[in-house]
Amino acid sequence: MSPELSSQSRDDSTHARGLRELTKRFQQKIDPDTESVQLVPSNSAPSSIADIPKIVSDTEPRFTFYRFAHTNNGADSAPILFFYTCPATAGNKAIKNRMLYPLMKRAVLEIAERECGVTPEKRFDVEGPAEITEEVVMNELHPKVQARQGFSRPKRPGR
């Protein structure tokens, strides 16, 4: 883990408080100059998965924690989801981001778990926020079980 990330996360109680009190959404980005994790301020909290692409940048990578309250087969559930988005953009900054964010992703998740007790139930790595849909999330959280058919013996040839 990068010492910068570790010291930055310990010094900035806003990150820890934000993760512990995760009610809907918590978004982070990396400052490429200092290579430190920063909180992305937002005035809007998404009310559903469909709202996430509206608040996540489609030009810069982001780490997003989201509490997804929903009902499936009559059971209420509110798992924490982690979205890592890294849109494809041109330029030298994009190349640095494509190398920096995957390295920092593991550290961000470790700090969230170790220091804040936040463990995402599912992790999603997507290129752009438009790929985040409720259908994709529900299929990952609650995969449809296909009924298996028993083995049917093949018919004899010639009959």
pTM for the predicted model, two decimal places: 0.75
| Residue 15: Cβ within 10 Å count | 22
pLDDT for 96: 81
**What is the chain's mean pLDDT, rounded?**
80
pLDDT for 11: 44
Mean pLDDT value of segment 96-115: 87
Band (21; pLDDT cuts 50, 70, 90): low
Band (42; pLDDT cuts 50, 70, 90): confident
Q: What DSSP string runs through the chain?
A: --HHHHHHHHH-HHHHHHHHT-SSEEEEEEETTTTEEEE---S---SSGGGHHHHS-SSS-EEEEEE--EEETTEEE--EEEEEE-----SHHHHHHHHHHHHHHHHHHHHHHHHH----SEEEEESSGGG--HHHHHHHHSPPPPPPPPP-PPPPTT-
Task: Tell me the chain's radius of gyration from C-alpha atoms.
Answer: 20
Nearest to 37 by CA among 61, 67, 71: 61
Band (125; pLDDT cuts 50, 70, 90): very high
Which residue do the tokens 């290579």 mark? 35
DSSP bridge pairs for 80: 67
Band (85; pLDDT cuts 50, 70, 90): very high
Q: What fold does the segment set 3-139 form as a domain?
A: Severin (3.40.20)
**In this model, does residue 156 exceed pLDDT 90?**
no
Nearest to 40 by CA among 7, 64, 5, 6: 64
Percent of the chain with pLDDT over 70: 82
Residue 27 CB burial class (10 angstroms; 0-12, 13-18, ≥19): buried
Check residues 123 and 16 and name the one with the higher pLDDT.
123
